[in-house]
Chain A
Amino acid sequence: ETGVTQTPRHLVMGMTNKKSLKCEQHLGHNAMYWYKQSAKKPLELMFVYNFKEQTENNSVPSRFSPECPNSSHLFLHLHTLQPEDSALYLCASSQAMEGGSEQYFGPGTRLTVT
């Protein structure tokens, strides 16, 4: 148990669907992250929230929309995705953004866009 949970674990959606990924951390951390992990590529940081405020948006297409209602919950809303968006989406949290704060990862959502 990493203290970070993600649902659903697997998701298959068509390009015209709308779905949401959910992440919850039970660690009392202040920073939360969304990553995209594709095969044989580095982890791609998508969004960062620090104390519920978005601090980073790494040129992510608008078909991905994050939401952070409180410091324990993070959502990724998906709409009109493309097949190349198929990947593992990982949520992580850390005590702080600065210094040696290790990130704790959730198990990920395996997304397939058909």
Chain B
Amino acid sequence: GQNIDQPTEMTATEGAIVQINCTYQTSGFNGLFWYQQHAGEAPTFLSYNVLDGLEEKGRFSSFLSRSKGYSYLLLKELQMKDSASYLCAVTDSNYQLIWGAGTKLIIKP
């Protein structure tokens, strides 16, 4: 079966750095997405990785290793507004998005 694993919840301190991991087992791979979802709101796109390596976008970076079925989202200089759920999703061989359950990130002052 297809599976995406990510931690259920993480806590970090304002101004710090946090890394949210995602591992996947899917039938084929056509890219990995990270989305942010604030409570009561729609998910919004953060990043897309299809090749191995690190993609940096401001305070957020996303890393992919296809051979290991592994990705992480790195958030730097954490702000209170970064408190949200972070969803990892993989596009399989049929171009269907397989979603993880999300990681709830709690930022403390």
Residues of A within 8 A of B (CB): 2, 4, 40-43, 45, 48, 56, 90, 97-100, 102-108
Interchain CB contact under 8 A, A2 and B44: yes
Interchain CB contact under 8 A, A104 and B101: no
The prevalent SS among residues of A at the interface is loop
CA distance A72 to B4 in the complex (A): 31
- CB contact between A102 and one of B30, B45, B102 (< 8 Å): that residue: B45
Question: When A43-B87, A104-B45, A105-B43 are in contact, do A97 and B95 touch as well, CB less than 8 Å?
Answer: yes
The number of chain B residues touching the other chain, given as a range, is: 20 to 34
Closest to A33 in B: B97
- CB contact between B48 and one of A40, A48, A100, A106 (< 8 Å): that residue: A100
Residues of A contacting B44 with CB < 8 Å?
A: 2, 105
